[in-house]
Amino acid sequence: MAARRALHFVFKVGNRFQTARFYRDVLGMKVQFCSSPRLECSGVISAHCSDYTGITEDSFSKPYDGKWSKTMVGFGPEDDHFVAELTYNYGIGDYKLGNDFMGITLASSQAVSNARKLEWPLTEVAEGVFETEAPGGYKFYLQNRSLPQSDPVLKVTLAVSDLHKSLNYWCDLLGMKIYEKDEEKQRALLGYADNQCKLELQGIKGTVEHAAAFGRIAFSCPEKELPDLEDLMKRENQKILTPLVSLDTPGKAAVQVVILADPDGHEICFVGDEAFRELSKVDPEGSKLLDDAMAADKSDEWFAKHNKPKASG
């Protein structure tokens, strides 16, 4: 499984301006890619969706229904860094959080310094470890140290209701290696390689609740492994949210995708590595595109003018 890679985690964001400020100015991440506004498609939301341009107020009763865009941010290219995918829906102002996502941990003394300088709230939860929140309430843990020539993103922590059952799924079926395991604290640290972002499973009491803000973690593997992975899940009677499909992006390679769900309903996307590397190339204009998109976004004004609050997810 050494050829498999941890890629990104998908967040749903309501306040794009403050979210961009957090990732760029506090954490110090760079915009890797920013999409044009798009419309939702039935089934998988993908590059099949058309650009949503030329829409006027008279076109629809609610011109921002279904309009969305995504921005990829990270400390470096997704080829060798774990990044965040920020999905922004123009007509949704906030999302209800569940107990499923427990945080991302990264090592960056610069991020701690940035947060202090910008007076972004920090709480020291252990020596040299600070808890903070991205807009929307997503937790981040900042270690006040830096790792030279390494991705600062160390791990993503997800809640599980049965650690043993989850380990069987992630290790036996998805082929992850156990790096650490603590039965007393009901936690385990998993990964595909030493130099990659890890997945931490943290046992909780009760049910894992995803609510509207539920995210998705993404990995890549050699494209030839995807049919076998799908077949394995079928044989083991595991949930497949989106059967293996090819997603076309104009001017780029078609990417093979299958989306799974673990025993607690965490969404897991596997993509074909070869085509995804082409698709995820850094756009040098990404940051400007994000700034332009935010400047052109008049959704707050439209909803205020019509005395309508943005929806809550």
Structural domain contains residue 168:
yes
- Tell me how many domains the chain contains: 1
Euclidean distance between CA atoms 109 and 82, whole angstroms: 18
122-155: pLDDT as tens digits: 999 999 999 999 999 999 999 999 887 789 999 9
Structural domain contains residue 160:
yes
Structural domain contains residue 211:
yes
190-239: pLDDT as tens digits: 999 999 999 999 999 999 999 999 999 999 999 999 999 999 999 999 99
Q: Which residues of 251-270 are buried (b: 16+ CB within 10 A; e: fewer)?
A: eebebbbbbbbbbbbbbbbb
Below-70 pLDDT ranges, the chain: 1-2, 36-62
pLDDT at 64: 79
Structural domain contains residue 296:
yes
pLDDT at 1: 63
pLDDT at 46: 35
- What values do phi and psi take at 311, rounded to 5? -65, 155
180: containing domain: 5-48+64-306
Asked if 13 and 23 touch (Cβ cutoff 8 Å), the reply is no
Structural domain contains residue 58:
no
Euclidean distance between CA atoms 94 and 307, whole angstroms: 17
pLDDT at 47: 30
Structural domain contains residue 56:
no
- Scanning the chain, the segments in alpha helix (DSSP H) are 16-21, 109-117, 163-167, 226-235, 273-279, 286-296, 299-305
pLDDT at 55: 31
Structural domain contains residue 117:
yes
Structural domain contains residue 57:
no
CATH number of 100's domain? 3.10.180.10
